[in-house]
Amino acid sequence: MHAIDSRVRRSSAGPAALFVAVGLLLSGCGGKAGNAAAEETATPPAVTVEAVAAEPRAMAASYSGSASLEARAESQVVAKTSGVALQVLVEEGDVVRAGQPLVRIDADRARLSVAQADVQVKKLEANFRRASELVKQQMVSVGDHDQLRYDLENARATLRMAQLELSYTNVVAPISGVVASRSIKPGNFVQINTPIIRIVDNSRLEATLNVPERDLTTLRAGLPVRMQVDALAGQVFEGVVDRIAPVVDSGSGTFRVVCAFDPDDGVLQPGMFARIGIDYDSRAAALAIPRVALLEDDGEPAVYVVRDGKAVRTSLTTGYVDGGFVEVRDGLAEGDRVVTAGKVALRDGSAVQVIGDDPVEVAEAGGDAKADGELQ
């Protein structure tokens, strides 16, 4: 009887224990599945970014280039006659005027040539006067008279040549400017056609730009020019477009633009490397944003605009570029804030937290699901 009761109790307890175990197992699986779903639906944290507002500002359209400064005029002074340099009247750095004597060359030989030519002219003039009287008396033929006239003219030309050679013994400045260099000393023998002094006219300096042909219609003479030189960092010099060669070079596809600058009391010197900007148009109040806000991809110009705590990719139509700013002609309104730092981590629709703004409250889907479960 006891054996039968024991078998009955074991058979009745088995299914109940199995039911309880299965229930616990299902309950555990359900909890893990719920946590996984909550994690998948949780909203990513907001990306911290910097943003600035699109605002009106003065914008200028400009062409930028670089060139070396050159003197407006330069002359290599050469000796037009040979001889010993008796005097060198200038030093490097001296300011000279056109026609001013620079070097005096020994002129003794040239003076003798002038004297000889002068004597010959006087002799032929006397002969010609006598022949002119005699031809009237038919004592001298017309042919001999004409020959004397030709000889006299030739002698006079020889005299003028000797006088010109004598004038060459005084070497004078062909242009006004500054003595940049000299390669002669007193006592040196000077060969004819030898460069001895270099004069630079630095009353106005020029820089020549080779500009692409697409800018041929935008640049014109008289436009203002801004210049900076490496040797004088931080200083900006004003100039003007002096002239334009409107012929495009077929090889390079460029045309020449010559900009002129005042030397500014000798601060600017020929040979300095210059960075030049030519402003050819301007807008007093163009809507502009920093250039760093533009997305660096191969598509059309675009930015991330902060709207309702999210980054919204927005395409733009841009205009002039002036320094670190770009003009926006379409796509933004005044006051729209564009992301300038933190763009790499963004996607269209990403939640953002702008530095300086109040924290953005982001609802978590997992928390909402848990609350719903508790209510149920």
The DSSP letter of residue 214 is G
Six-digit token pair at 142? 């017309």
Per-residue confidence (pLDDT) for residue 35, from 0 to 100? 54
**Chosen domain end from 137, 168, 199:** 168
Count of structural domains, the chain: 2
Determine what percent of the chain falls in helix, strand and coil, rounding each to the nearest 5.
30, 40, 30
Q: What phi and psi values does residue 78 have, to the nearest 5 degrees?
A: -115, 155
The region that residue 264 occupies, defined by phi over 0 for left and psi between -120 and 50 for alpha, beta otherwise, is left
Q: Do 304 and 339 meet the contact criterion of CB atoms below 8 Å apart?
A: yes
Per-residue confidence (pLDDT) for residue 202, from 0 to 100? 84
Total Cβ atoms within 10 A of residue 187:
10
Q: Is residue 131 part of a domain?
A: yes
Distance CA 227, CA 262 (A): 11
The DSSP letter of residue 351 is B
Per-residue confidence (pLDDT) for residue 58, from 0 to 100? 86
Helix (H) or strand (E) holding 372: helix 365-375
User: Chain-centre distance of CA 129, in angstroms?
Assistant: 73
Q: Do 206 and 70 meet the contact criterion of CB atoms below 8 Å apart?
A: yes
Six-digit token pair at 240? 């003007």
Which CATH number is 54's domain given? 2.40.420.20
**Chosen domain end from 138, 168, 198:** 168
The DSSP letter of residue 107 is -
Q: Is residue 88 part of a domain?
A: no
Largest CA distance in the chain: 196
Per-residue confidence (pLDDT) for residue 4, from 0 to 100? 43
Domain that holds residue 328: 47-63+284-354
Q: Is residue 343 part of a domain?
A: yes
| Segments of the chain with pLDDT less than 70 | 1-43, 360-376
pLDDT tens digits, one per residue of 84-120: 999 999 999 999 999 999 999 999 999 999 999 999 9
User: Chain-centre distance of CA 223, in angstroms?
Assistant: 15
Helix (H) or strand (E) holding 336: none
Q: Is residue 186 part of a domain?
A: no
Per-residue confidence (pLDDT) for residue 42, from 0 to 100? 58
Which CATH number is 144's domain given? 1.10.287
User: Chain-centre distance of CA 252, in angstroms?
Assistant: 18
Q: Is residue 299 part of a domain?
A: yes
Amino acid at position 188, single letter: N
Per-residue confidence (pLDDT) for residue 10, from 0 to 100? 42
Q: Is residue 308 part of a domain?
A: yes
Q: Is residue 206 part of a domain?
A: no
Q: Is residue 85 part of a domain?
A: no
